[in-house]
Structure 1
């Protein structure tokens, strides 16, 4: 038994025997005449991930090879799957220019299976980080959101929904400490759409992870706000160390009952509550909205002194008693905007639920 296969659990034994890359693990045989397969990194419902060396490049850099296994045998389905795979791979290639997304190095199809070759990021997943060091405090989770939300903003602006954000798909890079988002579900979903299965049920075609995915994703209708929900649930995991299915849920609304598990500021609690709302109408629509609310918190103490109980008129009416000069200073205008924002946030927070039909 070679030194790599000794580290592989029995859970992976079938992969070593049944897949071409598994049989090449630890040997000197080269896949596509360039990749030396070292070991299995992980497996899921849509394929297997291997660590490899590119022996054709100077220094033999490490890379990750993802073997996707679509359930396709019909010729027409296969043709559609090939087109979809190439399209989504090119999208990943474009996204990989961001420093917090692994770079796509190559993609190809061979022997009825699809392969993605990506940059290898050395580091621990957030899930392992929590298991190792324990849960994080409010300041640390806010910093986590400040790192992740701009990445979310970037992929959404490029028309991509990640679909599988969770602690296991977030890496803290050992080299420079950056947070890296991995394992996009978009390619998986496109391959599932072209499978030969006749069932159209959500359980058959669902792409995501139970607990981190919101209801609309189970209905196969993910939107940008679906990723925001997953980030919110991930934040709860960071604060508590508890997986989403370990929380209690409100029997009437289906909302996660997490508030009693943590001690955080009222404002941050409001932000997290809105991130994990079941209703799309009540949830944040964009990453920018979350970033704005997080950023506004630091201004609230300073501007609270500017918050008068009566709103100043902004019409420039020289006869106005509240504003006889018809002029509102920048600080006062900002205070008015903050007050309106807080009122809007309260209205959304305490909006009565729609009656059940």
Structure 2
């Protein structure tokens, strides 16, 4: 990068200097003769993500390029990695047919690095919205919960566990859709590969985020209900603005102490409590179960709080059923029109003239 921006952190400098995409960032050189690398979006334990433009397509649309590093060097291990990567990429490609999951546009391997090209979603993550707007109401959180559960229900029915549900991975797009990003399926396959190889440079192969992942995920045995726990913690963040590690934890059960941080309706509090059970058997087992529980707490009344003033809708209903009595203003206007009509119909010789003596004076 010939002219690095000022005030870059060491974190950003390392990425820009030590990755192929980082070295192309900010230059006019193209990646694979196609992608113009614009800026760094993020970095995780398995690679980096950049914003780019595909200059070969009309309009040069934005896209996201993820560079994944499996951290293996043996030829046999790399061959296995390629097979797993292609299999998992095909699963992500199938998921991308959903309107609220980024479309996978391409995937390929260059030497020892693996690349995913995905649709770029314009919008803001839930984490950013909370930083800008503050804590969200119960009504809003219920709506976020419902929409995300519908997405997870679809994902789980495809046999996929997201593995990293958190506010940073849910985007509110510009057209007001909630979009689920950054699936951990590929990363977990590559992590398992590193574990099975003779290369032992990685101390842990956990895929997920500490605080959002439940106990069974730390044991490398995630299930569909693991995503539900992470979504429950995400709801706590929306309600309180607190990261999961800011809550106290029961040392014996592992349960989060969160009820004293936010005031919720009793039934919604019960739903969240069951989503947040550290013991797998005590938690909801499917997104459909949680949706059914939400349906049972009268969603219509919740939605009405997000609508316009109910008093206005009542008045409009009454207007349709029975006409309102004529207002004083309308009666006055009608009287003036009637008087003017009669005045114009009188002969000019008998039209009334103003009486000069009718004036307020002392004489």
Which band: TM-score by shorter chain?
A: 0.7 to 0.9
- 1:266-319 per-residue CA deviation (whole Å, 9 max, x = no partner) reads 100100000010111110000000000000111899xxxxxxxxxxxxxxxxxx
Take 1:152 and 1:19, find their aligned partners in 2: how far apart are those partners?
33
2:352 equivalent in structure 1: none
Q: For the structure 1 residues 197 and 206, does the alpha-carbon distance in structure 2 shift closer, same or farther, using more than 3 Å as the test?
A: farther
Quote the offset at 1:197 in angstroms.
5.4
2:72–2:199 contact (8 Å) kept in structure 1: no
**What residue number does 1:183 align with?**
182
Name the structure 1 match of 2:247.
Answer: 247
Q: Which residue number corresponds to residue 77 of structure 2? A: 77
User: 1:219: how far off?
Assistant: 0.3
Q: CA deviation at 1:222?
A: 0.2
Distance 1:7 1:299 in 2: 49
Calculate the aligned-residue CA RMSD, in Å: 1.9
Structure 1 segment 13-24 matched on structure 2, within 5 A: 13-24=13-24
- In structure 2, the partner of 1:264 is 264
**Alignment TM-score, normalising by the size of structure 2:** 0.79
Match of 1:193 in 2: 192
Question: 1:39 aligns to what SS in structure 2?
Answer: strand
Q: 2:107 maps to what in 1?
A: 107
Distance 2:32 2:20 in 1: 11
Moved more, 124-133 or 9-18: 9-18
Structure 1 segments of 4 or more deviating over 2 A? Answer: 1-10, 196-201
Matched ranges for 1:1-357 at <5 A:
5-6=5-6, 8-174=8-174, 176-195=175-194, 196=197, 204-298=204-298
**Which residue is 1:346 aligned to?**
none
In 2, distance between residues paired with 1:20 and 1:230? 33
CA distance in 2, matches of 1:122, 1:2: 28
| 1:30-73 deviation per Cα after TM superposition (whole angstroms, max 9, x unaligned) | 11010010111010110000000001111100000000011111
SS at match of 1:194: helix
CA deviation after TM superposition for structure 1 residue 100, in Å? 1.0
**In 1: Cα distance, 2:124 partner to 2:238 partner:** 14
Question: What's the CA shift for 1:171?
Answer: 0.7
Verify the 8 A CA contact 1:170 1:181 in the aligned structure 2: yes
The structure with the largest alpha-carbon Rg is 2
Q: Matched residues in 2 for 1:7 and 1:149: separation? A: 40
Distance 1:261 1:109, change over 3 A: same
> Residue 281 of structure 2 aligns to a residue in which SS?
coil
Number of the residue aligned with 1:340:
none
Quote the Cα distance in structure 2 between the aligned partners of 1:258 and 1:108: 44
Unaligned segments of structure 1, at least 5 residues: 302-357
CA–CA separation in structure 2 for the residues paired with 1:289 and 1:123: 30
Q: Residue 56 of structure 1 aligns to a residue in which SS?
A: coil
Q: Secondary structure at the match of 1:21?
A: helix
TM-score under structure 1 normalisation? Answer: 0.80
User: Is the 8 Å Cα contact of residues 5 and 26 (structure 1) preserved in structure 2?
Assistant: no
Q: Which runs of 5+ in 2 are unaligned?
A: 302-363
**Is the 1:126–1:172 contact (alpha carbons within 8 Å) kept by the matching residues of 2?**
yes
Distance 1:197 1:128 in 2: 40
